[in-house]
Structure 1
């Protein structure tokens, strides 16, 4: 069974499996839809894949199984799943009556929720979170929130992303309340899991310092290994095996996510953004951004302002 299919968003996954992609426009960085509109024949088993996005699955009524890395979980009514980028997974559906799926990118979180989103929601950095079955009252609370997000997502308000961002804050706070009070991802899991989580923490902290101007030089793969007193080859092996992405790919994705946030501020020139992210020359930054997004920084900024 192939374990190396990495998908950048939900439409790409659905297209791979021959499922309709119309309900899952990912252009904003967020998708939300009801699975009973997509899955109509059962049983259904997905291809094995690694997503490059976060997801919340809210199961009002459905049955199936979810495999995350080497763990298998049952899906049943009032289950809430949270997964983040990188984990190997397969899902199986036996029946779906009412289930909502939200997916979102890190860039979406930073653009619409908060630039320092991991400070308040550290659970977003964890690798595997066991699903929770909520009480009827708890599930009703989160159901009202995701229904509002779905309604706004279908609407045409000029403030749509800001409204959804605010609703996402409320949803994340409720998930934190029901799942993760006093949670610290650094102290959970085996040695490999701790290495991955510490790497993600170090990556987030360093880019926060870069953007704020506290440091000027971006860290290399060797630097991230040194921070954990690990051989660079060992760090690279652990990160690649556990997340399906190399350390360099994590750094590149973080660079692009931070660049997109700053490009939304018209007061910052492209040259200044390049300097803040550690590029010696603005053209080098522009070429790097275009390589990873297929558009120039100026083109991305213009498209965002038009929205």
Structure 2
């Protein structure tokens, strides 16, 4: 299987350009009409993981390969994709149209943890067949998203978050969801989901005296009551990243948030992120961002 597609890969594949927000390493959200990418203009979507979340509404017949299941969409459906489960679309020429939005976990920083919702969990239902009335409701939300993202309203991304959550809760409350999408979740997927949930639970850091309790793969393995080698194998198998990569990337993301949005000293930030010495934090930050914390803060 190919490596997980990043947001950068998505934009290069679809548009041959990358938004500035991705280059600035901030939360990202966007919404699109599906119509230009169906019918004779449809392009094959390879079976692979994506390292971002996606919510898709589509009209028409289609086939979704989702983990180890194949789900037939008869008329119209709402589909939730997440970084843990690979998927691909088939028969895209029979899809008549639709809309989709993409976003990363960072977009919901300090708002909610997406991993807690069943539509983004390996064991949850991800594909929802819709009635005509339900489809009209979903379309209205996507249309609001399109209108909002093109507005000049300074808080439009707050509004977009609430609209994503409206779709999410609509799906979870839906009584007509298909049962074909009950994915056989293997132990590696369960372990990876539990690890990522535990990792995300350590954040955000909101007070100086607060400190993350777990810094190493072995500490997470101990909390999950499994051997560290078992954890490492499972996470690598499911996500194509090592446990240490996930931990380091999440700590780096939080470090950038604290440097950018607080007046804490670098020593205080280092301590809250579990570094025994500020020099260890400086070395870590420079290794993964190619600049010192001081330079990042002053940029």
Fold shared by both chains (TM-score > 0.5): yes
Indicate the residue corresponding to 1:208 in structure 2: 203
Where structure 2 has 5 or more consecutive residues not aligned to the other structure, the ranges are 178-183
Taking a change above 3 Å as real, the CA distance of residues 55 and 134 of structure 1, as seen in their structure-2 partners, is: same
Distance 1:268 1:129 in 2: 42
Residue 284 of structure 1 deviates from its aligned partner by 4.7
Residue 146 (structure 2) aligned to one of 143, 150, 155: 150
Taking a change above 3 Å as real, the CA distance of residues 13 and 118 of structure 1, as seen in their structure-2 partners, is: closer
Mapped contact 2:141–2:163 kept (Cα < 8 A): yes
Aligned length: 287
2:246 alignment partner, SS class: helix
Indicate the residue corresponding to 1:250 in structure 2: 246
Taking a change above 3 Å as real, the CA distance of residues 285 and 73 of structure 1, as seen in their structure-2 partners, is: farther
Taking a change above 3 Å as real, the CA distance of residues 161 and 300 of structure 1, as seen in their structure-2 partners, is: farther
Residue 188 (structure 2) aligned to one of 178, 185, 192: 192
Mapped contact 1:275–1:282 kept (Cα < 8 A): yes
Residue 48 of structure 1 deviates from its aligned partner by 3.3
Distance 1:274 1:152 in 2: 38
1:265-294 deviations in Å (ceiling 9; x for gaps): 344455433332223445654554465456
Taking a change above 3 Å as real, the CA distance of residues 283 and 157 of structure 1, as seen in their structure-2 partners, is: farther
How is 1:69-218 mapped onto 2 (pairs within 5 angstroms)? Answer: 69-92=67-90, 93-111=92-110, 114=111, 116-118=112-114, 121=117, 123-126=119-122, 129-178=125-174, 189-205=185-201, 207-208=202-203, 213-218=209-214
TM-score (normalizing by structure 1): 0.77
TM-score (normalizing by structure 2): 0.78
CA RMSD between the two structures: 3.4
1:186-243 deviations in Å (ceiling 9; x for gaps): xx944333322222232223x1386555545533111122223222212111121122
Taking a change above 3 Å as real, the CA distance of residues 288 and 108 of structure 1, as seen in their structure-2 partners, is: farther
Distance 2:271 2:283 in 1: 14
